[in-house]
């Protein structure tokens, strides 16, 4: 896992720097984006140094990590920049895994006291709260692939969210959400998404 | 106008050239709030937004199709002397009339229009006249 420093393009740091300098003359905005991403990837190496992380995990904002248990991050997981830091806490003996291409906005709170599993290509809005432990119970949270959790949603212990579902902004999810459904409200009620509304991000650009 | 960013920062984001984010006279915004305007967000004079409120005129992702496609924006208009509680969310197309009260944690969408001097609470929002 800890090999020589490579860059988003998989080249060496020197090659990448030369390339960015060339780009800086031609297209400053593109060069800036590339530098920002490069710094994000290097930052992720430091922030997630005690975690199993995939290729090109990107930390653009500030992330507080406590990895006493097993944290697994897939390829190209992104943590976006914002005004409030994201908290990722995995207690001793617990398991926290995040699938490929999942994206987190700022200010989210993820804490695993037993097990939190997040699938591939999920999107998390800002200030989302996911914790698998409360005073009454500790139960694993499972979030399947292609789930979109919007701003300020809270996911309670023991909840399983099915593939392709959407959790609306501000919702509090207390029970399981079937695949391809929309969960709204406090406590959240689910309704199926029409077949045409199922999103197909598998072919989309990351 | 008071932007109370003592404890948490405030995000005012007019995302594109031509986006309009208008704050009236004497507006108060609590810490941790975020206002994102893609087309237009207007907050009337003397309105108060609690802490961690979110105002956005776009959903940023569609429920169907390519989720990286940004759906069209619907302007958000908040009237004058409006009181918006903490952690309330105003989504695309929200309209809050003059002197209305939006309770803490309420989520106002284009479906729940709040009339002048009305009260809104809960998720999905319930509106009392």
Task: Tell me the pLDDT tens digit for each residue of A134-176.
Answer: 998 999 999 999 999 999 999 999 999 999 999 999 999 999 9
Give the model confidence (pLDDT) of B68-80 as tens digits: 889 999 999 999 9
By Cβ distance, the residue of A151, A171, A201 closest to B54 is A151
DSSP secondary structure of B107-128: EE-TTSPBPTT-EEETTTTEEE
What is the domain-level CATH number for residue B3? 2.160.10.10
Q: Is residue B48 part of a domain?
A: yes
Listed in sequence order, the residues at least 6 apart from A187 whose beta carbon sits closer than 8 Å to its beta carbon are A172, A173, A174, A175
Average the pLDDT over A18-32 and give the result. Answer: 86
Domain boundaries, chain A: 1-47, 53-198
pLDDT of residue A200: 56
Inter-chain touch A199–B62, beta carbons under 8 Å = yes
Interval A69-91: pLDDT, tens: 999 999 999 999 999 999 999 99
Check pLDDT > 90 for residue A28.
no
Total count of residues recorded for chain B: 129
Rounded to two decimals, what is the model's pTM?
A: 0.88
Name the residue in chain A with its Cα closest to that of B54: A151
Out of B34, B66, B123, closest to residue A186 by CB: B123
CATH superfamily of the A53-198 domain: Hexapeptide repeat proteins (2.160.10.10)
Domain count within chain B: 1
Residue A10 binned pLDDT confidence (cut-offs 50, 70, 90): low
User: Residue B3 domain-assigned?
Assistant: yes
Give the whole-angstrom CA distance, residue A98 versus residue A52: 10
pLDDT number for residue A169: 95
Please indicate, yes or no, if residue B119 is contained in any of the structural domains.
no
| Closest approach of A44 to chain B, Cα-based (Å) | 23
Buried b (16+ CB within 10 A) or exposed e, B38-60: bbbbbbbebbbbbbbbbbbbbbb
């Amino acid at each position: 896992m800890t090999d020589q420093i490579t860059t988003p393009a998989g080249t060496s740091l020197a090659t990448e720097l030369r390339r960015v300098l060339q780009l800086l003359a031609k297209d400053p905005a593109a060069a800036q984006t590339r530098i920002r991403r490069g710094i994000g990837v290097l930052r992720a190496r430091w922030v997630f140094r005690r975690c199993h992380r995939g290729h090109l995990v990107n930390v653009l904002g500030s992330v507080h990590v406590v990895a006493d248990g097993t944290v697994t991050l897939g390829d190209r997981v992104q943590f976006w920049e914002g005004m409030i830091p994201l908290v990722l806490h995995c207690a001793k003996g617990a398991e926290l895994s995040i699938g490929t291409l999942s994206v987190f906005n700022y200010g989210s709170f993820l804490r695993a006291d037993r097990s939190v599993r997040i699938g591939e290509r999920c999107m998390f809005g800002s200030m989302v709260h996911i914790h698998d432990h409360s005073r009454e119970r500790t139960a694993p949270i499972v979030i399947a692939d292609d789930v979109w959790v919007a701003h300020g949603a809270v996911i309670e212990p023991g909840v399983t969210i099915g593939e392709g579902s959407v959790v609306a902004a501000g919702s509090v999810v207390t029970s399981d959400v079937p695949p391809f459904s929309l969960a709204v409200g406090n406590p959240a009620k689910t309704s199926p998404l029409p077949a045409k509304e199922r999103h197909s991000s598998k072919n989309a650009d990351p | 106008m008071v932007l109370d960013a003592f404890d948490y920062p405030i995000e005012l984001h007019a995302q594109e050239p031509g986006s309009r984010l208008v704050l009236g006279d004497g507006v108060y915004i609590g810490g941790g709030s975020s206002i994102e305007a893609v087309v237009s967000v207007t907050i009337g004079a003397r309105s108060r937004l609690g802490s961690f409120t979110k105002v956005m005129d776009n959903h940023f992702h569609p429920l169907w199709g390519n989720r990286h496609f940004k759906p069209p924006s619907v302007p958000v208009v908040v009237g004058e002397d409006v009181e918006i509680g903490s952690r309330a969310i105003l989504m695309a197309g929200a309209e809050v009339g003059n002197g209305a009260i939006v309770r803490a944690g309420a989520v106002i969408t284009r479906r729940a229009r709040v009339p002048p001097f009305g009260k809104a609470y809960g998720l999905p929002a319930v509106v009392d006249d």
